[in-house]
Structure 1
Amino acid sequence: MAVTATLARRFWEAVEPIHALVYFAPEPARAAREVGLLGWWMGYFAGRLAPVGPLGAAAAQALCFAFAPGKVARALPDAWAYATPETVLRARVDAVQVPLERALTPTTVSATDLERLVQLLEQAVEGCSYEGRALAAAWSAVPRPTTLAGRLWLATTVLREHRGDGHVIALVHSGLTGIEAGLTHVATGRVPRELIQGTRGWTDGEWDQARRRLTAKGLLDRDGRLTRSGGTLRREIESSTDRLAADPVARLGALGVEEAIRLATPISRHLIDSGVVPVPNPIGTPRP
């Protein structure tokens, strides 16, 4: 399924791997263990949701729309018995700067270009509105780190959660549940089933039931591929996601966004080409 490469989408593709580093580099996971969290997924949910506060399972699953409720409930609220949200947040932000600083070599980005990129991304963040976007709003309130690497990562994080919250809005508006969103994503052919189903925590039985529902709705064929109606729906969802991610693009303007893409792309490509951020990945981020 071809999706028009809008400016908002190209902007996301250019900066998303910089944020996604937090999920694949070893330092953030190690930091989560060191503050007392048990297992990678407890670190994931607690670390991602820490700026919102000590959420319980129901509220956390509403924000992490694509995940099976049981997977979220195995991590939260238990995580807060081991470490406070403030402790988890501080450890996460500090830890992710280490692998990012390794990637920010002179051959990847000059000091001048890095400073300019951070300036542009922080300006883009200032253009974001947060109505209905609790996760992005919470990350936008996190104090800026003192280092350029930390500021870069935080800005990309606010931008991706702003877009991600908009994506959830688009999916819910389309009538898809979290598991159905995963199934239709897999049906585009961009990511394998095992990568989405496994990371999101859905059982084979739940996956098959959702597939039957989508087939009955005429969105998937009997082989699990998108029908014409299903393809149209996915295109509408992606188009809505791009439209809902327009705030930071409008703030920078076309020239500013193109400059940010030009400066961020070598960093993101380096993270992918060096194997730190794998492609394909559950996030769906491609090599920019």
Structure 2
Amino acid sequence: MESNSSLARRFWVALEPLHAVVYFAPEPAAAAKDVGLRGWWMGYFAGRAAPLGPIGPAPVTSMFFGFAPGMVARALPDAWKFASPQDVLRTRVEAVEAVLARVLPEAGLAELTGLLERAVAGCRFDGRPLAAAWAAVPRPPRLLARLWLATCVLREHRGDGHVLASVAAGLSGLEAGLTHIATGATTRELLQRARGWTDDEWEESRSRLLGRGLLDGSGRLTETGAAVRHEVEATTDRLAAAPLEALGTADAERVIELATTLSRVVVDTGVVPVPNPMGLPRP
């Protein structure tokens, strides 16, 4: 019998490209610009944090975890001078809806959306502020917007759990990124540019991981480092189990089947690139 951890990992891989269109498709970036935001990264931070209200950089740096504080501070709170959180949220959801309408076939959308909303209903949000904020967003009236919002809540639910797991393992956001690179899932070139860390900050974190015996001199995981990384991922999967339990194994497998077909479309049409800074594979 398959473990919940393995099922949780396959569930994430199948769903994440459907959520990730918000980061890579042109429509959300254009919508952020049209609503008044200045630059792609301001749109990213304001868009992802919009359900939290006109929030400042310190809590967003904490919740988003892997980003350099200075990178967040260049976007927030200035974003709210140009657009309200309500307008940012509304235009973001509308833009993602347009992306999905452009690329996805209709088959299976209603069934998948219903299953995902059941999964969301099974989530608990203790210690998960970002997921809780997105879960409080009113359900949109249209199917594709509902589909994306459900994937967003589930993604941030898992992401909040991943932050908890990483912190419990004694890793900072940058250190977690370095160990992620060491697994081969992504590269320094992709991740450093996307997260805003300087070379000095990168080397300081690498030195700390060397001192803890988690990385070797070539940047690879040591045996101890591999064990820590495995525990982080296993804990992340374990903390993501609630929506799977709400669905039951058969319906969770049905979600994976339906979402994999749709996610392959968004990858194969180039909407979500692989490789990417998230280390997300093609399902």
- TM-score band by shorter chain is over 0.9
- CA root-mean-square deviation: 1.0
Q: Distance in 2 between matches of 1:53 and 1:182?
A: 28
Q: Which runs of 5 or more structure 1 residues have no equivalent in the other structure?
A: none
Name 1:72's counterpart in structure 2: 72
Name 2:282's counterpart in structure 1: 287
Name 2:118's counterpart in structure 1: 123
**1:75-121 Cα shifts (integer Å, max 9, x gaps):** 00000011110010001001111111112225xxx1xx211100000
Q: Could you tell me whether the CA contact under 8 Å between 2:5 and 2:234 is conserved in 1? A: no
Q: Please report the TM-score for the alignment, with normalisation by the length of structure 2.
A: 0.97
Say whether residues 1:255 and 2:250 are aligned partners: yes
Q: Could you tell me whether the CA contact under 8 Å between 1:103 and 1:267 is conserved in 2? A: no
Structure 1 residue 143: Cα displacement = 1.1
Say whether residues 1:28 and 2:21 are aligned partners: no
> SS in structure 1 opposite 2:138?
coil
The amino acid of 1:100's aligned partner reads: L
Structure 1 residue 59: Cα displacement = 1.0
Name 1:89's counterpart in structure 2: 89
Q: Which runs of 4+ in 1 moved over 4 A?
A: none
The amino acid of 1:265's aligned partner reads: T
| Matched ranges for 1:13-162 at <5 A | 13-106=13-106, 110=107, 113-162=108-157
The amino acid of 1:103's aligned partner reads: V
Say whether residues 1:196 and 2:191 are aligned partners: yes
> SS in structure 2 opposite 1:6?
helix
Q: Distance in 1 between matches of 2:271 and 2:5?
A: 25
Aligned length: 280
1:207 corresponds, among 202, 208, 211, to 202
2:167 corresponds, among 162, 172, 177, to 172
The amino acid of 1:11's aligned partner reads: F
Structure 1 residue 282: Cα displacement = 1.4
Structure 1 residue 5: Cα displacement = 6.8
Q: Which runs of 5 or more structure 2 residues have no equivalent in the other structure?
A: none
> SS in structure 2 opposite 1:210?
helix
Structure 1 residue 190: Cα displacement = 1.3
Q: Distance in 1 between matches of 2:189 and 2:211?
A: 23
Q: Could you tell me whether the CA contact under 8 Å between 1:191 and 1:281 is conserved in 2? A: yes
Q: Distance in 1 between matches of 2:267 and 2:32?
A: 23
Higher mean Cα deviation, 120-129 or 271-280? 271-280
Q: Could you tell me whether the CA contact under 8 Å between 2:115 and 2:255 is conserved in 1? A: yes
Structure 1 residue 285: Cα displacement = 1.5
Structure 1 residue 58: Cα displacement = 0.6
Q: Could you tell me whether the CA contact under 8 Å between 2:104 and 2:265 is conserved in 1? A: no
The amino acid of 1:236's aligned partner reads: E
Structure 1 residue 280: Cα displacement = 1.3
Structure 1 residue 38: Cα displacement = 0.3
**1:160-215 Cα shifts (integer Å, max 9, x gaps):** 00000000000000000011011111111111111111100000111011111100
Say whether residues 1:226 and 2:221 are aligned partners: yes
Name 1:246's counterpart in structure 2: 241
> SS in structure 2 opposite 1:38?
coil
Give aligned-pair identity as a percent: 62
Structure 1 residue 144: Cα displacement = 1.3
The amino acid of 1:17's aligned partner reads: P
Higher mean Cα deviation, 35-44 or 96-105? 96-105
The amino acid of 1:23's aligned partner reads: Y
The amino acid of 1:256's aligned partner reads: D
